[in-house]
Amino acid sequence: MENNRFHSASFRKALSPWLFMLPGIIFTVWLRYYPIIKSFYMSLFSYDAVNPPGHFAGFQNYINLFTAAYYWDAWKNTFIFLILQLFLVFWVPLVQAIFLNELKRFQKTFSTIYLITALIPISVSVILWKWIWNPDFGLANQIVKAFGLPQQMWLSNPALTKFCIIFPGFVGGGVGVLLFLSAINGISEDVLEASQLDGCSGWQRIRHIILPNIRFIIIIQLVLAVISSMQILDAPYQFAAGGPSGASTSMGVYIYSTFYTDLDYGKATAASCILFLVIAVLTFLQLRMDQSEAE
């Protein structure tokens, strides 16, 4: 009798975590994985929205992409956005967090100020920055003019558009600062004090103590930065709608336009499946490289 009760209690104890996880698993499969499977299914058809799914096309949509207008330009723009994001934006919150950590007073005040910037909707931020980049009365041309340099058509110049779209992130702030700051605050005070007693300079302390101890959050943020840059859609679309001359057409914009403007559902879903595969490979390589270095 008691043995049965013991087994019953053990079963309930083992089952309880699964019952709590089950709703999350169901919604994850339904809202995350099902759309991926559905997209791949749609990509195999010349999809007809009136009489779905249309006629089976196999991998013809994928083959057509390789000769499609602007497809390779969209990939080029996407990787340029990625490079600009990593070189201009990714490291800024880390630097800000390191400096914030050195503040003995007002650290919470500045942390709150940085957090508030993350609460500004992207649409509002785009409106403000489009005013800054305005060629007639924008702040950017006023600054350029003050230095005696020629004024620019910032968002109308294909050579400058991608820079103008990414540059707002250079200001920094947001949740990234708080994540890095929390990781830095998690470093043992004994370790930091020992480094000071050993005569470590500020740069040596950052290089040999702080950065190695927050490596895990740096890798996570790097992976997320690569994923978000490869998926970038809202900023290029709201700043320039893919223009001028396709200069801001990322893969996200290309897929969106192909799906909603051209109504070519098969080609759009094929492009989204390829984008998903590329992001998955890049993420896998990043994690493998980090694992290899850790070993």
* Among candidate residues 247, 253, 251, the one with its CA nearest the CA of residue 158: 247
Q: How far apart are the C-alpha atoms of 112 and 102, rounded to whole Å?
A: 16
Q: Is residue 29 part of a domain?
A: no
pLDDT at 9 over 70: no
Q: Is residue 122 part of a domain?
A: yes
CB 180 within 8 A of CB 94: yes
Q: Is residue 83 part of a domain?
A: yes
Which pLDDT tens digit goes with each residue over 21-65?
Answer: 888 888 888 888 898 899 999 999 888 777 778 888 889 999 999
pLDDT at 5 over 60: no
Which pLDDT band, with edges at 50, 70 and 90, does 252 fall under?
A: very high
Q: Is residue 5 part of a domain?
A: no
Q: Is residue 202 part of a domain?
A: yes
Supply the pLDDT for residue 4. Answer: 59
Torsions phi, psi for 180 (to 5 deg): -65, -40
Q: Is residue 217 part of a domain?
A: yes
Which pLDDT tens digit goes with each residue over 165-213?
Answer: 999 887 766 788 888 988 988 888 888 778 777 777 778 888 888 888 8
Q: 92: domain CATH number?
A: 1.10.3720.10
pTM of the model: 0.86
Supply the pLDDT for residue 172. Answer: 66
Q: What is the mean pLDDT of residues 230-238?
A: 91
Q: Is residue 48 part of a domain?
A: no
Supply the pLDDT for residue 107. Answer: 80
Q: How far apart are the C-alpha atoms of 48 and 221, rounded to whole Å?
A: 40
HEC profile of the chain: CHHHHHHHHHHHHHHHHHHHHHHHHHHHHHHHHHHHHHHHHHHCEECCCCCCCCEECCCHHHHHHCCCCCHHHHHHHHHHHHHHHHHHHHCHHHHHHHHHHHCCCCHHHHHHHHHHHHCCCHHHHHHHHHHHCCCCCCHHHHHHHHCCCCCCCHHHCHHHHHHHHHHHHHHCCCHHHHHHHHHHHCCCHHHHHHHHHCCCCHHHHHHHHHHHHCHHHHHHHHHHHHHHHHCCCHHHHHHHCCCCCCCCCCHHHHHHHHHHCCCCHHHHHHHHHHHHHHHHHHHHHHHHHHHHHHC
Any bridge partners for residue 272, and if so which? none
Q: What is the mean pLDDT of residues 90-94?
A: 89
Any bridge partners for residue 56, and if so which? 45
Task: Considering only CA atoms, give the Rg of the chain.
Answer: 25
Structural domain tally of the chain? 1
pLDDT at 244 over 60: yes
Which pLDDT tens digit goes with each residue over 262-275?
Answer: 889 999 999 999 99
Q: Is residue 121 part of a domain?
A: yes
Chain mean pLDDT for the chain? 86
Look up the domain containing 238 and give its range.
71-248
